[in-house]
Structures are given as C-alpha cells and as structure tokens.
Amino acid sequence: MAAKPLIIAIANQKGGVAKTTTCECLAAALHKKGAEVLVIDLDVQANLSTYAGAVSGPTVYNVLTTDKNRMMDIGETIQRLPWFDLCPSSKDEMGNIEAELNKNPIAAMFTLRDRLEKSPAISKYNVVLMDCPPNLSYLVVNALCVADVCLIPANRDLGSKEGIEGLLDLIKSVQDRLNKKLQVAGIVLTRTNARTKIGQKISGEIDAMAKECGYKVFNTQIRQCVTIDQAHDDRKNVIYQYPSCNISLDYTSLAEEFIKEFATQLMLRR
C-alpha cells in the first residue's frame, strides 16, 4: 500500500477570506506540479463543488452519515476532474449532517478520520485537501482530527484576525486532546490589493500573532484578481485555464512553498 497522504485542512472561522478559492487553487497547482490530489468539500455551501464542475451524485454526506442505508466508502463518491479528484458536497444533504453527528458527540469528532482510514481509495493520493466551513462546527473538528496540517487563509481585516484567533484556540484543544500530530502549516494572506493603513495594521498584527505562536506566514501573498470570478462563472479552473493571471501565478508560488516545506510527506510521483 502507498504511504499515507499529507492531509491538509484549510480553515478560518471567518468567511470571505478566500478559503474555498485557496483550497481549489492550491489543489490544482499541486496537481499541475505532479501530485495526486483529492479535495474533500466539507462546506455546507458546496461552493467548491460548484466551481470545480461537480455533477450530481454521491457526496461527502454519504461518507459521514450514520444512516447505514446511505453510507458509502469515499471511493464511491469521488469524481475525477481534470484538475483534481473531488469528493463533493451538497447543500441539500449537508444541512442535516450536524444533527446526525450530534447524536453521538464523542464518536462524531472522529467520523471522517475513521472513514478515511478504512478506505483503500485514499492510498493513491499524495495529498488530501479539505475545504472547511467558516465556523467551528463538528465538520471543522472532524477535519482537524484527521489532518496532518492546517492552512489558514486570512485577509487584511479585523474579522479575519479574530477568526484566526478563534481557530487557533480550537486547534490547541484538538492538539491537546484529539490529534497530537496536528500542525499549523501557516497563514497565507489573500485578496491583497491597495496598501491601505488599516490593511497594513492588520497585516502587522497577523504577523505578530503568528510569530508569538511560532507559526509561519507564507512569503506568497494572493493578490486580488477578477479572473477567478470569471473562471467560477464558467466552471473552469483558473490554474489550468488562465495560467498567466495574477491569482494563478500566486497560487503556483504558494504550491512551490508548500512542496518545499512538505517535500518528504508529499512524495510526488509524476
């Protein structure tokens, strides 16, 4: 059996920080660099699944559900896309999953970990990226309990900084009690554009907070770029379809940083 993939949770308690775009684009950039990539869309909004061009079929709900009549191995839910493989989400189904997991709160925190560990489909991948909801729900805890590392996207506003603080508190609790191997890969600044005074202030505070906690801020910053909106509207992948635009160049640079940082765990095959 192949070595276990590097499992990455992409999370921030706050929405609007390009979390889904970061998951989608980093996954595609790593795939383009030679990684076998699986993306798991854990967000109830299912935006990544829509943007990536997923079709109707089994979803991550079937992986997480406690209903034995609907439960599936993750391998049965995976869709093969040109830019990465995807276990999609569904707005209709995922709205019920928190209530299902809440029936057995202690076991619920390890549901995703247990299902992935039992699935032979996972062994083919170098890396698994999980797009988490913008909150601190059971789904986020599930992601952190199975993840090797957590990547935190953040933009230059106060809410983003506060979202990081809440997430870091949760990560510390998970590290102490549930997943001792979990690491923080670092913080990536997104949607950067005009050098406003408030943006510079928040950026400095994020740098200081990361330094105090012993976490890195990636050198690559993701610039604001309207091409991503066009790509999403067209159900195209910006890394593959618009490789020369700012956002593609930036996420390719982030992928290169990631590969350098986690070269041993990724073990690229192509």
Alpha carbons 109 and 142: distance in angstroms, whole number: 5
- Does residue 204 contact residue 189 with C-beta atoms inside 8 Å? no
Domain boundaries, the chain: 6-260
Predicted local distance difference test score (pLDDT) of residue 266: 78
Sort strands 79-80 and 85-87 into parallel, antiparallel or unpaired.
antiparallel
- Does residue 172 contact residue 205 with C-beta atoms inside 8 Å? no
Mean pLDDT of 1-14: 84
pLDDT band at 165 (very low <50, low <70, confident <90, very high): confident
Calculate what percentage of the chain has a pLDDT beyond 70: 91
DSSP type of residue 4: P
| Average pLDDT of the chain to the nearest whole number | 90
Token pair of 101 as six digits:
């997991």
pLDDT in tens, 60-84: 999 999 899 999 999 999 999 999 9
Residue 173 has pLDDT above 80, yes or no: yes
pTM of the model: 0.93
pLDDT in tens, 202-243: 667 777 777 777 888 999 999 888 999 999 999 999 999 999
Token pair of 202 as six digits:
């928040």
Alpha carbons 138 and 264: distance in angstroms, whole number: 30
CA 184 to chain centre: 13
Calculate what percentage of the chain has a pLDDT beyond 90: 67
How many residues are present in the chain?
270
Which of 107-116, 124-133, 157-166 bottoms out in mean pLDDT, i.e. has the lowest? 157-166
What is the CATH number assigned to the segment(s) 6-260? 3.40.50.300
Using a 10 angstrom Cβ sphere, with 0-12 exposed, 13-18 middle and 19 or more buried, the burial of residue 214 is exposed
What are the distances in angstroms from CA 123 to CA 3, 58, 119, 228? Answer: 7, 20, 8, 31
